[in-house]
């Protein structure tokens, strides 16, 4: 997400001139969720020195709802500054100033600094500006910065003066500083000047920075003497990483940080909320299963424009994964957006069947009569898992989840359709293994229990399941 996602459609070049590569909303929330446990104060004074779209500010307001939060933002872009003013006009706890953060003096210090700083390569920084920034780093930190350094290096060093003692700093950076020469000053700063707590590398096929080979990296540290270990994590989510390892501070060699991310330790996701990983929807309501779900003639069943297989557990005993190879064991549901003229011309048998349905008032049933076209189902993508949300806790040892490895299956509203969030697609098998081992007691806690041991779990309730 390299362009502005919330405000208009300004040209990409306008933003790259200022080094603006905006943070996706989900990533900002993920980062804030991940650092909440470090914040032990009831009142938190926060600085966002590159406010941009305000996604970190929004995430902070949402996630730190139980704290007294005062947020100050700095934004160099006058268009963004104006829009942010409008956005937070009625929030007295958020203030935005228009300025270049590198020109701002530290009159006040903060408990937390969190930002995605501008990414401007050294070649695009003027000679005079580079000399001024190098002098600033020497004056403020006693650190000499290479002339090849990108702008974010100066940003982080300058921000040190704005952080309270024992305050925390969180930075979303391009990972190039891990191994290049100009990044050495940041590696030394993070090793010797502050207490580095955690580094997380996001693993994606597409980078959020200008160079497609540069990874997105989150750095978390406190302004205090270095102590303890550093948590190194990788994955598509910082809150629930795929891999993690703890290393000792004295193992940080300033020239070999890239090797730190060759981590292999598996992450334990037990106890996490299912809703952090997935979205849940009800299956489709046909309006009349007996009419719409049939063993269709082969020419109709194989026509993607007309129907789709519909899950039936009675036809899928002792199996746990639906694939392209076994999906044809199921009946099909009429699942088309074709109009009657096309159907009448290409599929006369189906047209005759629809007329029979109208003669028998199928089109006048409650659900069908409220559709724009009575025989057209709501269209849903095939899910990643299917869950039978009504079951007898006394008869079944485990509630039944089925994994879906085909894009040609749907289920009725007797089931729940579970969709992995995009950033968790690589965890499909791991999560399925956890779901199949969830004890009944968990469902009894979140669902509704009826006579005879019947349990019903609604979509919102399933999201609260602990896996």
pLDDT tens digits for range 356-410: 999 999 999 999 999 999 999 988 899 999 998 887 766 655 568 999 999 889 9
Amino acid 318: pLDDT = 76
In the chain, what are the domains? 12-261 (3.40.50.150), 274-335+377-463 (3.90.220)
Report the percentage of the chain scoring pLDDT > 90: 50
The share of the chain scoring above pLDDT 70, in percent, equals 87
Stretch 38-53: mean pLDDT: 92
Structure tokens at 76: 């160099």
Judge whether residue 253 has pLDDT over 90: no
Q: Are 416 and 280 in contact (CB under 8 A)?
A: yes
Report which of residues 146 and 423 the model is more confident about: 146
The DSSP code for 407 is S
pLDDT computed for residue 28 by the predictor: 93
pLDDT digits (tens, 9 = 90+) for 312-371: 888 887 788 999 888 888 889 988 889 999 999 988 988 999 999 999 999 999 999 999
User: What pTM did the predictor assign?
Assistant: 0.57
Q: What distance in Å separates the CA atoms of residue 376 and residue 452, rounded to the nearest whole number?
A: 37
Within 8 A by CB and 6+ apart from 370, the residues are: none
Helix (H) or strand (E) holding 28: helix 25-35
Distance CA 278, CA 384 (A): 9
Say what the pLDDT of residue 11 is: 43
Q: Judging by beta carbons within 10 Å of its beta carbon (0-12, 13-18, 19+), is residue 304 exposed, middle or buried?
A: exposed
State the pLDDT confidence band at 207, using cuts at 50, 70 and 90: very low
pLDDT of residue 5: 31
Q: Determine the pLDDT at residue 352.
A: 93
Closest CA to 40 of 115, 108, 112, 91: 112
In this predicted model, which residue has the larger pLDDT, 224 or 214? 224
Mean pLDDT confidence for 62-67: 88
Q: Please, are residues 72 and 46 in contact by the beta-carbon 8 Å criterion?
A: yes
Q: How far is CA 323 from CA 146, 299, 335, 366, 408, in A?
A: 55, 20, 19, 34, 9
Which tokens in the block code for residue 234?
């990788």
Least confident residue range of 55-59, 293-297, 416-420:
293-297
Q: 226, exposed or middle or buried, with CB in 10 Å at 0-12, 13-18, 19+?
A: middle
Question: How far is the C-alpha of 352 from the C-alpha of 328, rounded, in Å?
Answer: 25
What does the pLDDT read at residue 270?
57
> What are 20-44's pLDDT values in tens digits?
567 889 999 999 999 998 898 889 9
Confidence of residue 302 (pLDDT cuts 50, 70, 90): low
**Is residue 268 over pLDDT 70?**
no
Q: State the pLDDT at residue 117.
A: 93
Q: What is the mean pLDDT of residues 41-60?
A: 93
* Rounded-to-integer distance, Cα 229 and Cα 267, Å: 18
Average pLDDT on 237-248 reads: 87
Under the banding of pLDDT at 50, 70 and 90, the label for residue 212 is very low
38: helix, strand or coil:
helix
Instruction: Assess contact for 254 and 191: CB atoms under 8 A.
Output: yes
Q: What is the pLDDT, as a whole number, of residue 176?
A: 80
> What are the tens digits of pLDDT across the range 69-106?
999 999 999 999 999 999 999 999 999 999 999 999 99
74: which strand partners? 97
State CA 389 to chain mean position distance.
26
- What's the whole-number mean pLDDT along residues 422-444? 83
């Amino acid at each position: 997400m390299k362009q502005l996602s919330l405000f208009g459609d300004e040209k990409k070049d306008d933003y790259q001139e200022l080094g603006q590569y905006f943070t996706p909303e989900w990533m900002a929330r993920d980062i804030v969720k991940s650092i909440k446990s470090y914040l032990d104060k009831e009142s938190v004074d926060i600085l966002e020195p590159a406010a941009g779209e305000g996604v970190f500010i929004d995430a902070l307001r949402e996630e730190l709802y139980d704290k007294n939060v005062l947020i100050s933002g700095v934004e160099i872009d006058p268009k963004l500054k104006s829009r942010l003013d409008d956005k937070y006009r009625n929030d007295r706890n958020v203030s935005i100033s228009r300025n270049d953060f590198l020109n701002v003096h530290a009159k006040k210090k903060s408990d937390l600094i969190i930002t995605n700083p501008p990414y401007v390569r050294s070649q695009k920084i003027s000679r005079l500006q580079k000399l001024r920034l190098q002098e600033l780093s020497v004056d403020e930190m006693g650190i000499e910065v290479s002339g090849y350094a990108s702008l974010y290096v100066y940003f982080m060093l300058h921000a040190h003066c704005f952080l309270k003692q024992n305050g925390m700093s969180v930075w979303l950076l391009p990972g190039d500083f891990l191994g290049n020469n100009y990044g050495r000053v940041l590696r030394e700063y993070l090793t010797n000047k502050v207490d580095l707590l955690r580094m997380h590398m996001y693993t994606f096929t597409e980078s959020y920075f200008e160079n497609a080979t540069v990874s997105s990296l989150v750095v978390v540290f406190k302004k205090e003497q270095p102590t303890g270990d550093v948590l190194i994590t990788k994955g598509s989510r910082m809150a629930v990483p795929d891999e993690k390892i703890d290393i000792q501070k004295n193992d940080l060699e300033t020239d070999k940080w890239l090797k730190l991310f060759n981590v292999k330790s598996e992450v334990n996701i037990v106890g996490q909320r299912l809703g952090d990983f997935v979205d849940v929807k009800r299956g489709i309501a046909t309006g009349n299963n007996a009419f719409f779900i049939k063993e269709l003639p082969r020419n109709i069943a194989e026509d993607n424009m007309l129907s789709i297989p519909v899950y039936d557990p009675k036809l899928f005993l002792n199996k746990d994964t639906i694939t392209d190879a076994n999906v044809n064991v199921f009946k099909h549901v009429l699942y088309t957006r074709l109009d009657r003229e096309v159907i009448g011309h290409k599929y006369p048998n189906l047209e005759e069947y629809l007329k029979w349905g109208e003669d028998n008032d199928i089109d006048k049933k409650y659900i069908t009569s409220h559709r724009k076209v009575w025989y057209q189902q709501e269209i849903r993508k095939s899910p990643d898992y299917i869950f039978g949300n009504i079951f007898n806790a006394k008869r079944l040892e485990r509630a039944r989840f089925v994994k879906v490895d085909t894009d040609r299956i749907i289920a009725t509203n007797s089931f729940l359709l579970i969709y992995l969030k995009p950033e968790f697609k690589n965890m499909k098998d791991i999560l399925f293994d956890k779901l199949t081992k969830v004890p009944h007691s968990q469902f009894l806690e979140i669902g509704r229990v009826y006579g005879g041991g019947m349990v019903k779990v609604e979509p919102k309730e399933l999201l609260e399941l602990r896996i």
